[in-house]
Amino acid sequence: MPDDELSRFLKENSISLTLEEVRSLPEKLGRNPTLTELHIFNIQWSEHSSYKSSKKLLKQLPTESPKVILGPKEDSGIVELGTFKGKRYGIVVSHESHNHPSQVVPYEGAATGVGGILRDVLCMGAEVIATGDPLRFGDPFGKNKDRTRYIANAVVDGIASYGNAVGIPVLAGDVYFDACFDDNCLVNVVSLGLVKEEDIIHSYVPKEAAEEEYEVVLVGKATDNSGFGGAAFASLILDEEEAEINKGAVQVPDPFLKNMLIKATRRAFEVIREKKIKVGFKDLGAGGIMCATSELGSAAGFGMELDLDKVHVSMHNLPPYVIACSETQERFAWVVPKSFTQELLKIYNEDYDLPNIAEGAKATVIGKVTREKNYVLFHNGQKVCDAPIDEVTSGVLYDREQKPMEWNEKDPDIPEPVHYKEIILKILRHPTVASKADIYKHYDTEVQGRAVFRPGEADAGVMAPLPDEKVGVALSVDSNPKYGRISPYWGAVNAVFEAMRNVAATGAVPTAITDCLNYGNPEKPEAFWQFAEGVRGISDAARKISYYNTDLPVPVVSGNVSFYNESAAGKAVDPSPVIACIGVMDDFSKARGIQLLREGSYLFLVGERKHELGGSIYYEIHGGTGSSVPKPDFETAKKQIWSVIDAISTGKVLASHDISDGGLAAALAEMAIGPEGKGNLGVEVQLNDDLPTSTVLFSESPGFILEVSPEDAREIEKVFSRHGVDVFKIGEVTSSQKITIKHNEKEVCSIPLEEAKEAWLNGLSEALK
């Protein structure tokens, strides 16, 4: 077939493989591919599924540590929580994106993003215990403000409706607003689970299948055509003119069915553990039945033979490639011994009555595991796919060209403010800085009863995962897109450092991180260079800001790459490597929040103020970006984190807050205001520095502010001294209900607490109304 004719055929059938990729298939198959096989390779060789541009670079990341039970090899990573009553427990973590779907159909896109991440964690045999939602939206006051506000509100509603319905609390999140996200919002989702090491279920066929017959059981919603081509859609540039067409690539959520599926699956776990049955289990996400079953087999060296006529469907006359590859939500695939199949079917179909929960929902046998390493599909008695299973799952790899981008913008020349109070209030009102209560009040944060610090109460969410045990888990998610715009390397370093700081500020030890890497078109050398620099930054930070009191890295245990976050006009999002940090602490009762607690206590500053205003909120409100992005010293960063952890472990720190967006002034104000404006104390601060006042107040150089009682101050200073970290007493907590700041003996502002509250509490609602 000539190239022009083949190109036309591929376009007519919505296949985005390149001509070169398509022409390589006959060599792999020994013949020309069927249409079903073309769709299979279209999905499996997509960027979303195969990581064809990123896989080689991702090998730079540290993934091993004594705390890692399972690295980024399966649906989720697992990091050690601890050993309790003789049993080793793990925290299961997965991190994904649902960016394109959420831009096109924000409610459904966000809801199904939550649904998919919950399945990833559940599939490891875990109890799902929390989620986190880092979000990036366009400029709510810009030229696309109406669309931006609609997307933001719909995304929040989608996350809330799904998470609340299935009973999973939101533990953490962050939100940034910038015009670079006008055409491509970012909806990243993190999920945590709890599992005993001995109870982990893997996403591959057990080795016992070499001796015993194993069957494939499909569980859940009846298959339809929703989400067909979703993986390929996620690997393309968004075009607003094709928005209506693209809606078909977005899945449809059903949280109430999911709730029952979770309960039924937990019962299946119990039976499997009681009977010591070896099984494999996998979520049906991108690529649907095909992707899940081919990966289950290939990962363990087995083949698969499926009969698509046995798949329960809700639509008549679906083509075989749609049945195989659609991304209908709320589905799982089991591989179980044939001797256990009927009992598993009974759990779902009778004990939990799936057919009466949702029309067409059920568990059914659709095929078997084979010892020949082929992936075979039948439809209407005809073989529509017969390919080496490793070829189906191995993907393709590219060495993309990189071209460094120079950032030429200089720091703006801004005169020192006449009225610092006005600038501080403007920063507090900025939707990126302002209280996110208008978002997280939609979420059920109390369900399951594990919360210690909820969103907004501390720099990281903190929970007590095990009843009758003191161990705590902290979760933070972070990334500043403007830092990435200036320097993709330092943007990534700062994302890792801030996520670790936020966890440390609660008293927990940063134990592992995950990354969701959101970038533009990897086929553009400049965009791929940004990605490569981001990976390098994450790797350096994870290795050099090492695990507490060791030289070991903080490992990357899960992650995701999201490319093509770019509009049809070529406008890409700022490089946005979103980092989640999971922390563990021995005693959750020692965790600390941000709100000031005691009149007369001292305020200590950790972290030197530097001229690092590049990408800051201060520059933004003056219409600039600048270039002086924070460049933390790794050794200093590590010692600061360790010092704060040790200080909080003494029980003598009353409150703790990291310094980031808005700088020192915003951090002080947030501690006085308290979560949801519950604070009723003021601060009086004296800063002595040769830097300009605006730099001291608004630089976003990393650091911490700690509240400490006067009688405990000396002990806390000794903790920092042992680590060789400078700590400065900068002021006191007062009953004045004012935020008073002096610089070199001169008062620069005295802001009534009520005015600060008004700005901080209303900034987001004004942006999204």
CB 474 within 8 A of CB 577: no
Q: Give the chain's largest Cα–Cα span.
A: 87
> Strand order in 382-388's β-sheet?
280-283, 331-337, 214-220, 362-370, 303-307, 374-379, 382-388
- Structure tokens given for 706: 């700690």
> Strand order in 127-137's β-sheet?
68-70, 77-84, 87-97, 186-196, 127-137, 170-177
CB 644 within 8 A of CB 492: no
User: Half-sphere exposure of 382 toward its Cβ, with a 13 Å CA cutoff?
Assistant: 7
Q: Which helix (H) or strand (E) holds 683?
A: strand 682-687
Q: Which amino acid belongs to residue 652?
A: K
Alpha helices (H) in 51-96, listed in sequence order: 55-58
How many other CB atoms are there within 10 angstroms of residue 347's CB atom? 18
- Structure tokens given for 112: 């199904």
Helix (H/G/I), strand (E/B), else coil: 512 = strand
Task: Report d(CA 495, CA 532) in Å as an integer.
Answer: 15
- Structure tokens given for 8: 């036309």
Name the residue among 95, 200, 84 with its Cα closest to residue 512.
Answer: 95
- Structure tokens given for 169: 């609390």
Q: Which helix (H) or strand (E) holds 556?
A: strand 556-562
CB 188 within 8 A of CB 133: yes
CB 525 within 8 A of CB 570: no
SS (H, E, C) 331-388: EEEEEEEHHHHHHHHHHHHHHCCHHHHCCCCEEEEEEEEECCCEEEEEECCEEEEEEE
State the Rg of the chain over Cα.
Answer: 26
98 is annotated as an active-site residue: yes
CA 148: distance to chain centroid? 21
Place of tokens 């033979």: 305
Task: Report d(CA 465, CA 84) in Å as an integer.
Answer: 12
> Could you report how far apart the first and last alpha carbons of the chain are, in Å?
55
- Structure tokens given for 198: 């001995």
| Residues 630, 633, 638, 642, Cα dihedral to 10° | -70
Place of tokens 């959420």: 102
Place of tokens 């936020």: 502
CB 639 within 8 A of CB 546: no
Conformation bin of residue 405: beta by default, left when phi > 0, alpha when psi is -120 to 50? beta
Task: Report d(CA 748, CA 761) in Å as an integer.
Answer: 23
Give the angle 135-628-641 at the CA atoms, nearest 5°.
65
Q: How many residues make up the chain in this entry?
A: 769
Active-site residue, selected from the candidate residues 39, 48, 95, 657: 48
Task: Report d(CA 327, CA 276) in Å as an integer.
Answer: 31
Task: Report d(CA 25, CA 31) in Å as an integer.
Answer: 8
CB 450 within 8 A of CB 465: yes
48 is annotated as an active-site residue: yes
Give the angle 295-301-305 at the CA atoms, nearest 5°.
65
Active-site residue, selected from the candidate residues 95, 98, 379, 743: 98
Task: Report d(CA 25, CA 32) in Å as an integer.
Answer: 7
Task: Indicate the DSSP class of residue 78.
Answer: E
Place of tokens 């075989």: 320
Where in the sequence numbering do the catalytic residues fall?
A: 48, 98
